[in-house]
A and B are shown apart, each in its own frame.
Chain A
Amino acid sequence: MTLNIYTVIGLAVILVIVLMALLADFIAPYSPVEASGMELESPNPLHIMGTDNLGRDVFSRVVYGARTVIVVVLIAVILSGVIGTVLGLVSGYISGVLDKILSFVMDSIYAFPSLILAIALSVALGPNIFNAAVAIAITYIPTYFRMVRGQVLSIKNESFVEMARALGLPITRIMARYILPQLTQTLVVVFSMNSADAVLTEAALSFFGLTVQPPTPDWGFDLYKGRGFILSGAWWMLIFPGGMITLLALGFALLSEGVSQSYVVKEGE
């Protein structure tokens, strides 16, 4: 795999935001939840991104807000990736009735618009970070499932899988050692593509107040609040959290584009 410009930029953006989340205590000049200036100060040397309607430093809220989105996205994508991959493997390899049932369930989930489903699920589960992550995870499981299942259907007929069976290897080992490694390329791409999407979904859930509760900083929720002050001319309350959401989503999207491109180049060589 070669690094290309998309991968590098994407990774850089993601890395910066992750570092920001990890080192928030050192980067943020003020507490994100306490007033540190006047209300609705426009950007100035003391508050480089201005202050919100309660006098809190927008920059500090943006920095701490990265934690929420990264935690939710990470849990959601890992959860859906693991569940979707395992179900896809089993379903594709074993096939039969189980495969029919699982495919039906997955297609049903897939048929819903994912955002609507995530909102509904997270309302049903109750608004907190973990439930939001679970809600997002559920909407992405079918993506992994369908992708993995499709590949397994073709890989399981490869001779080396047949050979492994002819040598008496158990199904679980064949799936884990012979089939799963063949899927890594696609999984990496889907993983980062889903992360990009998850960033936006998380922001949407926060926008509706379905993740963290105030005053915990969160980009989506701050965006929602900032919306009310746009007419007062406080553009900074909207632009900065919104810009961060876009930037992080873009980072993941670039990464997935870069990774998939480098695989294409490899195949053509």
Chain B
Amino acid sequence: MSEVLLVEDLYVKYYTRRGIISAVSGVTFDVIKGEMLAVVGESGSGKSTLGYAIMRLLPRSGAVERGRIVLDGEDILRLSEEELRRIRGGKVSMVFQDPFTTLDPLRRVLDQFREFLAEHGIDAERGRIIAEEMLEAVGVPKNLANAYPHQLSGGQKQRVAIAMAIALNPLLVIADEPTTALDVVIQRQVMDLLDDVKKRGTSIMFITHDIALAIERADRVMIMYGGEVMELAEKSMLAKRALHPYTVGLLSSMPRIGSEKLPSSIPGYPPDLRSPPKGCIFHPRCPYATERCRTVKPILSEVEKNHFVKCHLVKAL
């Protein structure tokens, strides 16, 4: 079990006109070779920011304040822009949410593909061969290699994006809600494709708001809320016995076929990250919150093997 990515005590802040937003606060986790780690959270939970921070693609207003991001033994926060270019697309790559806009509308698929390969030192002829191979591997018909993006369907575009992301056998692919913009049938196909990618030995960090999909597909699931990790466990543990009240809330908000009970929602709203609540960040919405939760911040602790929870009320087993 070797780790591909190690994130340690990461803090990311956005400096906006309306104030300083703590988007990611003290996040620590790792990604193991060949696994799919799902990062689950609602909008504003910091899950995408985490992905962009690892790619070093944060918008101008965002900055990593503290922490380490170690990819394959290299602290990528120390790399120059030049070195980053070698790593992006090479060792780590990203698949984005909206496949309809991730390809340059004015250029043919194959041209974009080859340009990216050329940038990583692959000559034109080999670039064409690799591009065609990869497109075939992700199930894009060969004759579409010379098509313009508008001639492809949403699913095909996402396949092309994935083909480019995995062409150089990266160690890690960060997939930021890769199926959110697609219908469920295509969603299943894209998830199957990510499974295949995993089998090639590439680790996947699957960012999603869909806890059901995460539990179905990932090896481990990390639950984020308000920029912090609330729970991190193997999916079977989480499915059987989620411990954090937030995770429990998320799970019970899922509709279940055959169940008499209606799905319930978590009352309240996500925290204002310009001035996060004191103590546990989830306490204003937590049905079990005690006085201690309102004043003392809990720490992420391992309550059973490989099961981490950040909650005062969950005792080690």
Are B94 and A166 closer than 8 Å at their CB atoms? yes
Rounded to whole angstroms, the CA-CA distance of A231 and B207 in the bound complex is 82
Q: Which one of B34-42, B64-72, B84-92, B257-265 contacts A?
A: B84-92
Give the interface centre of A166, A177, A178, A181 by most chain B CB atoms within 10 Å: A166
From residue B313, how far is it (CB to closest CB) to chain A in Å? Answer: 40
Are A167 and B105 closer than 8 Å at their CB atoms? no
| Cβ of A233 under 8 Å from chain B | no
| Cβ of A71 under 8 Å from chain B | no
Encode contact with A along B58-98: 1 for CB under 8 Å, 0 otherwise: 00100000000000000000000000111111100110111
Q: Which residues of B contact A (CB under 8 A)?
A: 55, 57, 60, 84-90, 93-94, 96-98, 101-107, 115-116, 119-120, 161, 164-165
**CB nearest to A163 among chain B residues:** B102
From residue B293, how far is it (CB to closest CB) to chain A in Å? Answer: 38
Query: What are 10 A-B pairs with beta-carbon distances under 8 A?
Result: A95-B60, A160-B102, A160-B105, A163-B103, A165-B88, A167-B93, A169-B85, A170-B85, A177-B107, A177-B115
Are B101 and A158 closer than 8 Å at their CB atoms? yes
Name the A residues within 8 Å of B115 (CB-CB).
Answer: 169, 173, 177
Encode contact with B along A163-205: 1 for CB under 8 Å, 0 otherwise: 1111111100100011001100000000000000000000000
Name the B residues within 8 Å of A162 (CB-CB).
Answer: 57, 96, 102
| Cβ of A159 under 8 Å from chain B | yes
From residue A185, how far is it (CB to closest CB) to chain B in Å? Answer: 11
Are A166 and B101 closer than 8 Å at their CB atoms? no
| Cβ of A113 under 8 Å from chain B | no
Chain A interface main SS type: helix
| Cβ of A214 under 8 Å from chain B | no
**CB nearest to A171 among chain B residues:** B81
Are B104 and A169 closer than 8 Å at their CB atoms? no
Are B106 and A167 closer than 8 Å at their CB atoms? no
Rounded to whole angstroms, the CA-CA distance of A163 and B161 in the bound complex is 9
Question: Which residue of A95, A168, A178 contacts B85 across the interface (Cβ within 8 Å)?
Answer: A168
Rounded to whole angstroms, the CA-CA distance of A182 and B164 in the bound complex is 22
Name the B residues within 8 Å of A164 (CB-CB).
Answer: 104, 116
Name the A residues within 8 Å of B55 (CB-CB).
Answer: 166
| Cβ of A96 under 8 Å from chain B | yes
Name the A residues within 8 Å of B96 (CB-CB).
Answer: 159, 162-163, 166
Name the A residues within 8 Å of B104 (CB-CB).
Answer: 160, 164, 177-178
Rounded to whole angstroms, the CA-CA distance of A70 and B103 in the bound complex is 40
From residue B110, how far is it (CB to closest CB) to chain A in Å? Answer: 14
From residue A188, how far is it (CB to closest CB) to chain B in Å? Answer: 15
Report, nearest first, the 3 A-B pairs whose CB atoms are least far apart. Answer: A167-B89, A168-B89, A168-B88
Are B116 and A167 closer than 8 Å at their CB atoms? yes
